[in-house]
Amino acid sequence: MSKKYGVNPSVLKCFWCGKPMGVALMGRIKGDLEAPHEITGGLDACDECKEKFKKGVLIVEVNEDGSRYGNQDRFAIRDAEGNKVFPTGRFAVLRHDVIRDGNPGDVKLADRETMDYIFSLFPNDGGKAQHQADD
């Protein structure tokens, strides 16, 4: 328990959509600092995103630069070769029938060029960072 801030709460946010998912009670942080008002605890998805991901194939843009996340493993994903990569924040959920070897619920990793191409297929999306599978 923090002497200054009590339970010292932070709002937990979904990594994927940014919506609130709950509250983390941080208590005393080294130096009795105030907890950040909002945090992302890792790559966890909210219930709404989990449901969307089940409807299609989740394509996640990744690169090797983990500095954005302090190189913390809780934000890392292992690629097919076992290398540690980090999501950039751009993703798409596409119907499984438009992706070769894709099944609902699958996760595929992509580089920037691939994501640029995917987003070019949706020119009227208003610049949103995601595309959902059809309901």
Neighbours of 32 (CB within 10 A): 12
How confident is the prediction along the chain (135 residues), in pLDDT tens digits per residue?
Answer: 888 888 988 999 999 999 999 998 988 888 888 888 998 888 989 999 999 999 899 999 999 999 988 888 889 999 989 999 999 989 999 887 777 788 888 999 999 999 999 888 876 654 444 444 443
In angstroms, the CA 45 to CA 86 distance is: 16
b (16+ CB within 10 A) / e for 44-55? bbbeebeebbeb
DSSP state letter for 54: H
Angstrom CA distances, 96 to 36, 58, 83, 99, stand at 38, 9, 25, 6
pTM, entire model: 0.77
Backbone angles phi and psi of 97, in degrees to 5 = -75, -10
Give the pLDDT of residue 84.
94
Q: Which residues pair with 78 in a beta bridge?
A: 84
Burial 69-99 (b: 16+ CB within 10 A, else e): beeeeebbeeeeeeeebbbbebbbbbebeee
* Confidence (pLDDT) at 77: 93
Tens digits of residue pLDDT in 11-26? 999 999 999 999 989 8
